Chains A and B, each alone.
Chain A
């Protein structure tokens, strides 16, 4: 299973999780898992402002690292004013290590 942005979704991919309106589990269900995506369906999801979906397998290659990259870049952004201060540098490195451990530890993982 892989979470990918809707823009990378192509027809033939299979949903690995239900999709809810407003992307919230409290919203109305839009589409069940197991559904094979079609161009029509993708358009409908776009209209519903769905930003990302879970699909089966690992169709988009770099994605696993990608989301880690995004998190690390956001972390850099938050520390842009203070990463040179010694105490903040410690915190920055702590957070960086935490992110890598919690989401990137599988960077060498093979496609399932």
Chain B
């Protein structure tokens, strides 16, 4: 049994079978160290892949950011930042497979993106767009588990159902790891910036987040709020415990929470419409 688990873990963590990164991203990764490369230049590289650009723009106009209309890659880079556009390129290639066949997880992810953005704005935090992106990507490990080993995914869902346990617990039993760890490993393999990687890695264990604890705390709280609202589905149907350290880091209180719930529920109506539109084309 233990052998089988570690075999599964090994196969999931095998970089050779990772979905391929769009070549555009590899070009960007090699460029971004070069301080001289301008936004225009980077936008030109991304725009050369038309399908990818269209997907990026669609996500950039999703309710997770939806405070302005973004119509060109250059604008997206200026408004959302190069990091965000890069992450959206990655997200859109990974999520491409699941938009249609796992709508529930897609809804959950978009919902957490929206909630993370609203929380960040309400608290006046810097880099709201990056935080929204971390929210959008926080459960990316689940997508990887699904892509790489759909039988493991089925076993995990089966365990959740029969034993009424959290996704995280079921994952550890079946594959000896969990989606947070897989997500962390993925963000390293794909050179996502740490400020996105940390929330992905530690959204279920905020105390372990050292450099970007505030961002991680926002994503943790956003995840809990979306689970509480019952929007989408991320595997199990249980609201996880709010971690005290996240609550304290963000200095939340009852009043703030009540306002956030109201704002998030308002915005979720838009997310629902956005998902329907995506499914219909």
Chain B: CB-nearest residue to A83: B239
| One of A7-15, A28-36, A56-64, A93-101 contacting the partner | A93-101
Taking CB atoms, residues of chain B closer than 8 Å to A107 are: none
Query: In the bound complex, what is the Cα–Cα distance between A8 and B244 (angstroms)?
Result: 46
Chain B interface main SS type: helix
| One of B46-54, B152-160, B172-180, B222-230 contacting the partner | B222-230
Query: In the complex, how many angstroms separate the beta carbon of B164 from the nearest chain A beta carbon?
Result: 8
Q: How many residues of A contact B (CB 8 A)?
A: 22
Query: In the bound complex, what is the Cα–Cα distance between A102 and B227 (angstroms)?
Result: 19
Query: In the bound complex, what is the Cα–Cα distance between A80 and B239 (angstroms)?
Result: 8
B-side residues, CB < 8 A to A, are 166, 224-225, 227-230, 237-242, 244, 247, 254, 257-258, 261-262, 265, 276, 280
Chain A window 66-78, contacts with chain B (Cβ cutoff 8 Å), 1 for yes, 0 for no = 0000000011011
Find out whether the CB atom of A79 lies under 8 angstroms from the CB atom of B254. no
Query: In the complex, how many angstroms separate the beta carbon of B190 from the nearest chain A beta carbon?
Result: 33
Find out whether the CB atom of B224 lies under 8 angstroms from the CB atom of A102. no
A90 within 8 A of B: yes
Known: A24-B276, A91-B224, A102-B265. Is A80-B254 also a contact (CB below 8 A)?
no
A88 within 8 A of B: yes
Find out whether the CB atom of B238 lies under 8 angstroms from the CB atom of A82. yes
Query: In the bound complex, what is the Cα–Cα distance between A68 and B276 (angstroms)?
Result: 25
